[in-house]
Amino acid sequence: MGKRKDYPALTLTVIYALERGTPRSREKIVWKLITNLPVKSLTEAIEKLKWYAMRLKIELFHKIFKSGCKAEESKMRSSERLVNLISIFCIIGWRVFWLTMLHRTEPSLPPAIALTTTKVRMLDELLKTKSRVPRKKATVSDYIIKVARLGGYLAHAAAPPPGNMVMWRGVSRLNDIQLGFLLAA
């Protein structure tokens, strides 16, 4: 370990943030962030909090990239091929993440916002609705749950919303099934 004199002085700022209101199903969010970036106003503190809030989304994207796409297992021998593969993985990873977040933030949108007519029909055939009661108009959330069920999501009443990895497996399975149909035709 080096001696203190070998390192320049470092000015740090502590940002303490407490969520307003009282959430029903969880504790309030409390953040204590330490940064070496200058924070001279409330506006600058809020900016740093927004940056930090994006961190979880970035980490989730990287998890999809590494665990779902298995990017690190690639055996590409040229940088050009690796760049192309990573480009495709980025698109796939973003799509899985987007579907997961869409279900949580905009569940009542129409299915066409996220899925082609072919995929909607495939999901309807693969996972029939069991209800005998006339249904409301189908939403994107209904179909995202179907995709998640293909990935192993149990979809019972107490289940949390599907996560990125179950969505990854569902999207992969749906694409495999679609490819199988195309090859069989």
**pLDDT tens figures, 82-141:** 889 889 888 988 999 999 999 999 999 999 999 999 999 999 999 887 665 556 789 999
The predicted pLDDT at position 33 comes to: 93
Determine the pLDDT at residue 134. Answer: 57
123 plus 185 within the same structural domain: yes
Question: What is the spatial distance between Cα 45 and Cα 15, in angstroms, rounded to a whole number?
Answer: 7
For helices 79-105 and 140-150, the axis angle rounded to 10 degrees is: 130
- 90 and 117 assigned to the same domain: yes
Q: Looking at the structure, do residues 57 and 87 belong to the same domain, yes or no?
A: no
What is the three-class DSSP state of 13?
strand
Task: Name the region of 155 (left: φ>0; alpha: ψ -120 to 50; beta: rest).
Answer: left
Of 73, 93, 126, the residue at which a domain comes to its end is 73
For the stretch 150-182, pLDDT in tens is: 999 998 888 999 999 999 999 989 888 888 776
CA 15 – CA 33 distance, rounded (Å): 5
* DSSP label of 151: T
Confidence of residue 74 (pLDDT cuts 50, 70, 90): confident
Question: Which is nearest to 151 in space by CA: 59, 87, 64?
Answer: 64
Contact 111, 120 (CB under 8 A): yes
What does the alpha-carbon distance between residue 118 and residue 185 come to, in Å, rounded to a whole number? Answer: 14
pLDDT the model gives residue 180: 78
Question: What predicted TM-score, i.e. pTM, was given to this entire model?
Answer: 0.72
- On whether both 96 and 63 belong to a single domain, the answer is no
State the pLDDT at residue 15. 95
Do residues 37 and 93 share a domain?
no
Burial class, 86, CB count within 10 angstroms (exposed 0-12 / middle 13-18 / buried 19+): middle
Which pLDDT value is given to residue 130?
A: 67
Phi, psi of 34 (to 5 degrees): -115, 130
The residue among 75 and 41 whose pLDDT is bigger is: 41
Q: What token pair was written down for 144?
A: 């995202």
* Domain with 120 in it: 81-185
Whole-angstrom distance, CA of residue 6 vs CA of residue 141: 56
Phi, psi of 71 (to 5 degrees): -60, -35
Please indicate whether residue 131 or residue 20 has the higher confidence score (pLDDT).
Answer: 20
